[in-house]
């Protein structure tokens, strides 16, 4: 007998968003430690880091939004096609 794995699989896009957010949090913590310990800031690196990972998160979010929108439109078209087929099959004759 085969055992079914009921675990929900995490998609690659979701993993990338989690990785990006984790990277931002870790960078922020390390940046604050450096700022307190050495009394210096790394402004340019911080700007570049947040621009890159922030942009990646926004891009992943937009991809997910447009995928959901396309799936909803496909489902509506499938439902409309099924209704058309049902109407064509039923000629309205009694008995």
DSSP 11: P
Give the ranges where 1-95 is alpha helix by DSSP (H): 12-38, 43-89
Q: Which residue has the higher pLDDT, 90 or 79?
A: 79
> Domain limits of the chain?
12-88
- Burial call 48-84: b when 16+ CB within 10 Å, e when fewer: ebeeebeebeeebeeeeeeeeeeeeeeeeeeeeeeee
Q: How far, in Å, CA of 27 to CA of 19, rounded?
A: 12
**Each residue's pLDDT tens digit, 29-81:** 999 999 999 988 888 898 999 999 888 889 888 888 888 777 777 777 666 66
pTM flag (> 0.85): no
């Amino acid at each position: 007998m085969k055992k079914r794995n009921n675990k929900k699989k995490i998609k690659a896009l979701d993993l990338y968003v989690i990785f990006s957010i984790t990277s931002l949090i870790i960078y922020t913590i390390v940046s604050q430690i450096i700022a307190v310990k050495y009394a210096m800031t790394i402004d340019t690196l911080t700007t570049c880091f947040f621009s890159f990972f922030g942009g990646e998160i926004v891009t992943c979010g937009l991809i997910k939004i447009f995928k959901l929108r396309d799936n909803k439109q496909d489902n509506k078209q499938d439902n409309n096609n099924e209704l058309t087929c049902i109407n064509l099959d039923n000629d309205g004759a009694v008995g």
